[in-house]
Amino acid sequence: MSESSYLLKGATLPNGQAADILIQDGRITSTAPGSSAPSGAVVVDAAGLVALPGLVDLHTHLREPGFEQSETVLTGTRAAAAGGFTSVFAMANTMPVSDTAGVVEQVQSLGDAAGYATVRPIGAVTVGLAGERLSEIGAMAQSRAAVRVFSDDGKCVHDSLLMRRALEYVKTFDGVIAQHAQDPRLTENAQMNEGALSSELGLKGWPAVAEESIIARDVLLAEHVGARLHICHLSTAGSVDVVRWAKARGIPVTAEATPHHLLLTEDLIRSYDARYKVNPPLRRDEDVQALRAGVADGTIDIVATDHAPHPRESKESEWDAASFGMVGLESALPVVQTALVDTGLLGWDDVARVLSTTPARIGRLNGHTHSFEEGAPANLTLVDPADRSTFTLDRLAGKSQNTPFEGVTLAGRVRWTFHHGFPTLRDGELASIEEAAAHARHLAREGVPAHG
Ligand SMILES: NC(=O)N[C@@H](CC(=O)O)C(=O)O
Ligand SMILES: [Zn+2]
Ligand SMILES: [Zn+2]
């Protein structure tokens, strides 16, 4: 298949500059305004659209191997493309757990073959996520999947000595431990944020200190070891304070917030609708405001989706029995625009930072793939910031439909996504599975590195 050329006419770059973006042979060859289309190029009217570097999600659950009824690498990367993402980091809580070189290479291969996005597997910190023994971190790092991010996400690495050893290990190859900060003893059977509302609803509470105490311990361990620590899905005002303190001290910590924690509060749980059940739980409005302020002042480095697909059955049961988790890839950009851009907290250059360049840097993706420099791989997305629409289930491209945003009016819509010059999303329509697979074979023939 010969790759086409594209001219994206009249786009606005994150810094506000007007650009005609020319894509040839998978690369950006010019952004100069006034470019004319080379013969055969597809011209896209990008007037009014913001061009962002391809979005990078440091926290995605693709569910394969083992939970293919919820999501697969193929369906999850289709959801990614629909949401403007060109790279996703796949969490390790699969079955078997991604705790060996064999499993991470399998996930890598599935992503490489699908062609919708770059897939970077995350390795488990401990064998089977059991929190007892370190997994084969070195073998995963040296494998073809070249794992740099390790996480027991879904579970907290709560043993301090194991956490220390894990940090020491990843330090040797510039890896990072992504911690799911949840003290297990303080959250046994916990169902929602602990406070007046949990008492009123009769649901077991999940105190903020269960998250904050682990973060406090781990930033101190990271300082002691001198290794990189990343904190998953911050959800409380106190967590933002702890990370802010750690950064002021020079500790090498980074942090993420999810779109849902930036927009939704625990009040939704009055409905007892398990679509709002998530780990960590939705918190109070004060927490939402503190998280937004944390993203705005850089304490929180990135927004990551924590896309967590679950089948209908496991969300239709009563609250206590339902699964934790929400899908998030397709709604991430509109939620970020609604919560952070339209509120004046972030500009589009900041959005590019928190949803693309910084997650790429934390995960050690190839550094040249998320810019508009001439010659950079054409990984980018075009967003219509003027769109105001009700989020509907037909906007979900993955296998599961457990979104909390159905019926919510959100600002902004992803129209086009390009992965190495190939339009995985074309004016809102996903490329076919066959076309994406052909693109994947083309990349393999060209020797485009999987980590790019
Ligand atoms: N976020 C969730 O509520 N669930 C995640 C696990 C996790 O991210 O902790 C899942 O794997 O379903
Ligand atoms: Zn988690
Ligand atoms: Zn997660």
For the chain, give every domain's residue range.
52-370
Neighbours of 217 (CB within 10 A): 17
Over its C-alpha atoms, the chain yields an Rg (Å, rounded) of: 21
**Backbone phi, psi, residue 82, to 5°:** -60, -30
Q: Determine if residue 230 is labeled as part of a ligand binding site.
A: no
Which residue puts its alpha carbon closest to atom 4 of ligand 1? 325
Class for domain 52-370, per CATH? alpha beta
Measured in angstroms, how far is the CA atom of residue 402 from the centroid of ligand 1?
12
Which residue puts its alpha carbon closest to atom 8 of ligand 1? 154
Tens-place pLDDT, residues 126-154: 999 999 999 999 999 999 999 999 999 99
Element containing residue 39 per DSSP (H, E): none
User: Is 306 among the catalytic positions?
Assistant: yes
Tokens found for residue 116: 């919708």
Tokens found for residue 324: 């934790």
Q: Determine if residue 320 is labeled as part of a ligand binding site.
A: no
- Beta bridge partners, 56, equal 87
Residues with Cβ < 8 Å from 250, sequence gap 6 or more? none
CA-CA distances (angstroms) from residue 175 to 171, 172, 334?
A: 6, 8, 31
Q: Residue 377: CB within 6 Å of ligand 1?
A: no
d(CA 113, CA 135): 26
Catalytic residue among 57, 112, 306, 350: 306
d(CA 72, CA 53): 25
Mean pLDDT of the chain: 97
Coil, strand or helix at 50: strand
Q: Residue 61: CB within 6 Å of ligand 1?
A: yes
Q: Residue 328: CB within 6 Å of ligand 1?
A: no
d(CA 364, CA 355): 14
pLDDT in tens, the chain (452 residues): 345 899 999 999 999 999 999 999 999 999 999 988 899 999 999 999 999 999 999 999 999 999 999 999 999 999 999 999 999 999 999 999 999 999 999 999 999 999 999 999 999 999 999 999 999 999 999 999 999 999 999 999 999 999 999 999 999 999 999 999 999 999 999 999 999 999 999 999 999 999 999 999 999 999 999 999 999 999 999 999 999 999 999 999 999 999 999 999 999 999 999 999 999 999 999 999 999 999 999 999 999 999 999 999 999 999 999 999 999 999 999 999 999 999 999 999 999 999 999 999 999 997 657 889 999 999 999 999 999 999 999 999 999 999 999 999 999 999 999 999 999 999 999 999 999 999 999 999 998 876 55
For residues 279 and 221, the answer to whether their CB atoms sit within 8 Å is no
Predicted local distance difference test score (pLDDT) of residue 36: 87
Measured in angstroms, how far is the CA atom of residue 166 from the centroid of ligand 2?
18
Q: Determine if residue 306 is labeled as part of a ligand binding site.
A: yes
Global confidence as pTM = 0.98
